Structure 1
Protein backbone atom coordinates (compact mmCIF):
# COMPACT_ATOMS: atom_id res chain seq x y z
CA UNK A 1 0.00 0.00 0.00
CA UNK A 2 3.01 2.31 -0.26
CA UNK A 3 1.61 3.67 -3.51
CA UNK A 4 -1.15 5.28 -1.48
CA UNK A 5 1.29 7.50 0.44
CA UNK A 6 1.56 11.13 -0.62
CA UNK A 7 4.87 12.44 -1.93
CA UNK A 8 4.64 15.14 0.76
CA UNK A 9 2.08 15.36 3.59
CA UNK A 10 -0.82 17.81 3.68
CA UNK A 11 -0.62 19.85 6.88
CA UNK A 12 -4.00 20.65 8.44
CA UNK A 13 -4.24 23.46 10.98
CA UNK A 14 -7.32 23.88 13.14
CA UNK A 15 -6.12 27.24 14.47
CA UNK A 16 -3.90 28.60 17.18
CA UNK A 17 -3.60 26.41 20.22
CA UNK A 18 -4.10 23.23 18.20
CA UNK A 19 -1.22 21.22 16.80
CA UNK A 20 -0.99 20.89 13.03
CA UNK A 21 -1.98 17.47 11.74
CA UNK A 22 -0.17 15.83 8.86
CA UNK A 23 -2.16 13.74 6.43
CA UNK A 24 0.32 11.65 4.48
CA UNK A 25 -1.74 9.02 2.69
CA UNK A 26 -4.98 8.49 0.82
CA UNK A 27 -6.26 6.32 3.69
CA UNK A 28 -5.64 9.10 6.25
CA UNK A 29 -7.35 11.62 3.97
CA UNK A 30 -10.38 9.33 3.74
CA UNK A 31 -10.57 9.03 7.54
CA UNK A 32 -10.39 12.82 7.84
CA UNK A 33 -13.08 13.33 5.18
CA UNK A 34 -15.44 10.77 6.71
CA UNK A 35 -15.29 12.67 10.01
CA UNK A 36 -16.18 15.96 8.29
CA UNK A 37 -19.57 17.35 9.47
CA UNK A 38 -22.45 16.27 7.24
CA UNK A 39 -23.85 19.80 7.01
CA UNK A 40 -20.59 21.11 5.55
CA UNK A 41 -20.18 18.52 2.79
CA UNK A 42 -20.35 20.53 -0.42
CA UNK A 43 -19.04 19.98 -3.95
CA UNK A 44 -15.35 20.46 -3.01
CA UNK A 45 -15.75 17.87 -0.25
CA UNK A 46 -17.40 15.43 -2.68
CA UNK A 47 -14.63 15.97 -5.21
CA UNK A 48 -11.93 15.20 -2.62
CA UNK A 49 -13.85 12.15 -1.37
CA UNK A 50 -14.40 10.83 -4.91
CA UNK A 51 -10.73 11.32 -5.81
CA UNK A 52 -9.56 9.53 -2.67
CA UNK A 53 -12.01 6.69 -3.37
CA UNK A 54 -10.73 6.46 -6.94
CA UNK A 55 -7.13 6.30 -5.68
CA UNK A 56 -8.01 3.53 -3.24
CA UNK A 57 -9.52 1.51 -6.08
CA UNK A 58 -6.53 2.11 -8.36
CA UNK A 59 -8.33 4.41 -10.79
CA UNK A 60 -6.33 7.50 -9.85
CA UNK A 61 -2.88 8.18 -8.46
CA UNK A 62 -2.27 9.09 -4.83
CA UNK A 63 -0.83 12.44 -5.97
CA UNK A 64 -4.01 13.31 -7.88
CA UNK A 65 -6.01 12.50 -4.76
CA UNK A 66 -3.56 14.62 -2.74
CA UNK A 67 -4.22 17.59 -5.02
CA UNK A 68 -7.97 17.24 -4.52
CA UNK A 69 -7.58 16.87 -0.75
CA UNK A 70 -5.25 19.89 -0.64
CA UNK A 71 -7.85 21.90 -2.55
CA UNK A 72 -10.50 20.87 -0.04
CA UNK A 73 -8.22 21.89 2.86
CA UNK A 74 -7.47 25.23 1.19
CA UNK A 75 -11.13 26.03 0.49
CA UNK A 76 -12.17 25.12 4.05
CA UNK A 77 -9.29 27.23 5.43
CA UNK A 78 -7.71 24.23 7.15
CA UNK A 79 -4.56 24.18 5.05
CA UNK A 80 -1.57 25.14 7.16
CA UNK A 81 -0.04 28.44 6.01
CA UNK A 82 3.27 26.71 5.28
CA UNK A 83 1.49 24.48 2.76
CA UNK A 84 0.13 27.50 0.90
CA UNK A 85 3.62 28.54 -0.21
CA UNK A 86 4.40 27.83 -3.87
CA UNK A 87 6.20 24.64 -4.77
CA UNK A 88 8.98 24.51 -7.32
CA UNK A 89 7.67 25.68 -10.68
CA UNK A 90 4.76 27.70 -9.25
CA UNK A 91 4.73 31.45 -9.02
CA UNK A 92 3.32 33.62 -6.25
CA UNK A 93 0.50 34.92 -8.49
CA UNK A 94 -1.09 31.47 -8.58
CA UNK A 95 -0.92 31.21 -4.79
CA UNK A 96 -2.50 34.63 -4.29
CA UNK A 97 -5.24 33.77 -6.78
CA UNK A 98 -6.13 30.68 -4.73
CA UNK A 99 -6.30 32.67 -1.50
CA UNK A 100 -8.94 35.10 -2.82
Structure 2
Protein backbone atom coordinates (compact mmCIF):
# COMPACT_ATOMS: atom_id res chain seq x y z
CA UNK A 1 0.00 0.00 0.00
CA UNK A 2 1.29 3.45 -0.93
CA UNK A 3 1.02 5.64 2.21
CA UNK A 4 1.85 8.93 0.50
CA UNK A 5 -1.05 8.70 -2.00
CA UNK A 6 -4.22 10.75 -1.39
CA UNK A 7 -7.50 8.82 -1.16
CA UNK A 8 -8.91 11.38 -3.62
CA UNK A 9 -6.70 13.58 -5.81
CA UNK A 10 -6.77 17.34 -5.40
CA UNK A 11 -7.12 19.36 -8.60
CA UNK A 12 -5.74 22.88 -8.52
CA UNK A 13 -5.63 25.59 -11.16
CA UNK A 14 -2.13 26.80 -11.96
CA UNK A 15 -0.51 29.12 -14.49
CA UNK A 16 -3.17 30.29 -16.92
CA UNK A 17 -5.88 28.42 -15.02
CA UNK A 18 -4.79 24.99 -16.18
CA UNK A 19 -6.00 22.15 -13.94
CA UNK A 20 -3.32 20.02 -12.34
CA UNK A 21 -4.28 16.82 -10.55
CA UNK A 22 -2.19 16.16 -7.44
CA UNK A 23 -2.39 12.52 -6.39
CA UNK A 24 0.26 12.24 -3.69
CA UNK A 25 2.39 14.09 -1.17
CA UNK A 26 5.40 14.43 -3.50
CA UNK A 27 3.31 16.08 -6.23
CA UNK A 28 1.82 18.49 -3.71
CA UNK A 29 5.28 19.31 -2.39
CA UNK A 30 6.58 19.99 -5.92
CA UNK A 31 3.66 22.31 -6.68
CA UNK A 32 4.19 24.23 -3.44
CA UNK A 33 7.94 24.49 -4.08
CA UNK A 34 7.17 26.08 -7.45
CA UNK A 35 4.77 28.60 -5.89
CA UNK A 36 6.06 32.18 -6.46
CA UNK A 37 7.97 33.48 -3.45
CA UNK A 38 6.14 36.81 -3.60
CA UNK A 39 2.77 35.04 -3.24
CA UNK A 40 3.67 32.77 -0.34
CA UNK A 41 1.57 33.06 2.79
CA UNK A 42 1.20 31.38 6.15
CA UNK A 43 -1.17 28.90 4.47
CA UNK A 44 1.60 28.08 1.99
CA UNK A 45 4.10 27.53 4.80
CA UNK A 46 1.68 25.26 6.68
CA UNK A 47 0.96 23.18 3.58
CA UNK A 48 4.65 22.96 2.65
CA UNK A 49 5.59 21.89 6.18
CA UNK A 50 2.81 19.28 6.11
CA UNK A 51 4.24 17.91 2.85
CA UNK A 52 7.70 17.69 4.41
CA UNK A 53 6.25 15.85 7.42
CA UNK A 54 4.31 13.55 5.10
CA UNK A 55 7.43 12.74 3.10
CA UNK A 56 9.26 12.00 6.35
CA UNK A 57 6.43 9.69 7.43
CA UNK A 58 5.54 11.87 10.42
CA UNK A 59 1.94 12.49 9.31
CA UNK A 60 -0.42 10.65 6.99
CA UNK A 61 -1.27 11.64 3.43
CA UNK A 62 -4.84 12.65 4.29
CA UNK A 63 -3.57 15.25 6.77
CA UNK A 64 -1.31 16.61 4.04
CA UNK A 65 -4.27 16.61 1.66
CA UNK A 66 -6.39 18.61 4.12
CA UNK A 67 -3.72 21.30 4.45
CA UNK A 68 -3.30 21.37 0.67
CA UNK A 69 -7.05 21.85 0.16
CA UNK A 70 -7.08 24.66 2.76
CA UNK A 71 -4.17 26.34 0.96
CA UNK A 72 -5.86 25.98 -2.43
CA UNK A 73 -9.14 27.40 -1.13
CA UNK A 74 -7.37 30.35 0.46
CA UNK A 75 -5.66 31.17 -2.83
CA UNK A 76 -8.74 30.44 -4.98
CA UNK A 77 -6.97 27.74 -6.99
CA UNK A 78 -9.02 24.72 -5.90
CA UNK A 79 -10.69 23.40 -9.05
CA UNK A 80 -14.40 22.66 -8.80
CA UNK A 81 -15.32 19.03 -8.35
CA UNK A 82 -16.22 18.12 -11.92
CA UNK A 83 -18.07 14.97 -10.84
CA UNK A 84 -20.52 16.93 -8.69
CA UNK A 85 -20.89 19.62 -11.38
CA UNK A 86 -21.72 17.13 -14.15
CA UNK A 87 -25.37 16.48 -13.18
CA UNK A 88 -26.05 20.23 -12.97
CA UNK A 89 -24.42 20.81 -16.36
CA UNK A 90 -26.42 18.01 -17.94
CA UNK A 91 -29.65 19.33 -16.43
CA UNK A 92 -28.85 22.78 -17.84
CA UNK A 93 -28.29 21.32 -21.30
CA UNK A 94 -31.52 19.36 -21.17
CA UNK A 95 -33.56 22.43 -20.24
CA UNK A 96 -31.99 24.58 -23.00
CA UNK A 97 -32.50 21.90 -25.64
CA UNK A 98 -36.14 21.50 -24.60
CA UNK A 99 -36.70 25.25 -24.89
CA UNK A 100 -35.13 25.56 -28.32
Aligning the two structures, in what range does the TM-score lie when normalised by the shorter sequence?
0.7 to 0.9
Unaligned runs of 5+ in 1: 86-100
User: Which consecutive aligned stretches of 4+ in structure 1 deviate over 3 angstroms post-superposition?
Assistant: none
Residue equivalent to 1:20 = 19
Q: Once the two structures are superposed, what CA deviation does each residue of 1:35-92 show, in whole Å capped at 9, x if it has no partner?
A: 0000111100000001110011111000000000111111110001217x7xxxxxxx
SS, match of residue 81 in structure 2: helix
Unaligned runs of 5+ in 2: 85-100
1:45 equivalenced with 2:47 (yes/no): no
1:81 equivalenced with 2:98 (yes/no): no
CA RMSD across the alignment:
2.0
Which structure's CA Rg is the greater one? 2
* TM-score (norm: length of structure 2): 0.75
SS, match of residue 72 in structure 1: helix
> How much has 1:18 moved relative to structure 2?
4.6
* TM-score (norm: length of structure 1): 0.75
Structure having the higher strand fraction is 2
> How much has 1:30 moved relative to structure 2?
0.4
Q: Report how many residues are paired.
A: 83
